[in-house]
Amino acid sequence: MALKSTIVKVRLNVSDIDRSVYDDFSLSIARHPSETETRMMLRVAAFALHADERLEFGRGISTDDEPDLWRKDLTGAVELWIELGTPDPDRLRKACGRAQRVILYAYGERALKVWWDKHASALARFSNLAIFGLSDDACARLAALAAPGLSLQCTVSDGELWLTDGAESVALVPEVLMEVSS
């Protein structure tokens, strides 16, 4: 018998000074049994960094043809495709062909270094791809916030994300590895 996803409810208050977005979001996240708390909380952080009423979570890590998060326009065309981790470059190539903009938040410092050294030159050809690295320490602190019925306040300023649950605060500073070409 296959294990089912757990639904995690998150109340997220976003104050994004960079984009002038100030809103409350009620998120329902399907957490796959194999998904770690770190990865789930990184999905929440990615949502906060790109908060929008049309931003949606994909069906999860077991789905090959959907990202972790995406935003579509009113015609169904994909405007923004967000991935987490260190995916196969072919997956990113396909995403770049389907979406106007693709963002990868890569984590796992040791694996990321090997992955980046191996694939950086091949990924540089995609003008609509941006890649950011996240530190292991920040990811671990973010995972420690995970709890049932989570309520978070988020502030985004100068590309940095501050999340707090009222008791603990976490700063997430994505390191730019590759920017979208102009």
Task: Tell me how far apart the alpha carbons of residues 178 and 60 are, in angstroms, rounded to a whole number.
Answer: 25
CA 65 from chain centre, in angstroms, equals 16
- Cα–Cα distance between 121 and 162 in angstroms, integer? 32
Q: What is the pLDDT of residues 68-127, one digit of tens each?
A: 999 999 999 999 999 999 999 999 999 999 999 999 999 999 999 999 999 999 999 999
Whether the predicted pLDDT of 51 surpasses 90:
yes
Contact 34, 172 (CB under 8 A): no
4 or 114, which is more confident: 114
What does the pLDDT read at residue 107? Answer: 96
- 8-state DSSP, 77: -
Whole-model pTM?
A: 0.94
Residue 49: burial class (beta carbons within 10 Å; 0-12, 13-18, 19+): buried
**Confidence at 5, pLDDT banded by 50, 70, 90:** confident
Domain spans, the chain: 6-178
CATH superfamily of the 6-178 domain = Restriction endonuclease-like alpha-beta roll domain (3.10.640.10)
Ranges assigned E (strand) in the chain: 6-16, 21-31, 55-57, 69-72, 78-84, 99-106, 129-133, 150-157, 160-164, 169-172, 175-178
Residue bearing the bigger pLDDT, 21 or 147: 21
List, as one string, the DSSP characters of 10-50.
EEEEEEETTTTEEEEEEEEEEE-TT--HHHHHHHHHHHHHT
pLDDT of residue 15: 98
Residues 6+ apart with CB under 8 A from 137: none
Both structure tokens of 131: 């890649």
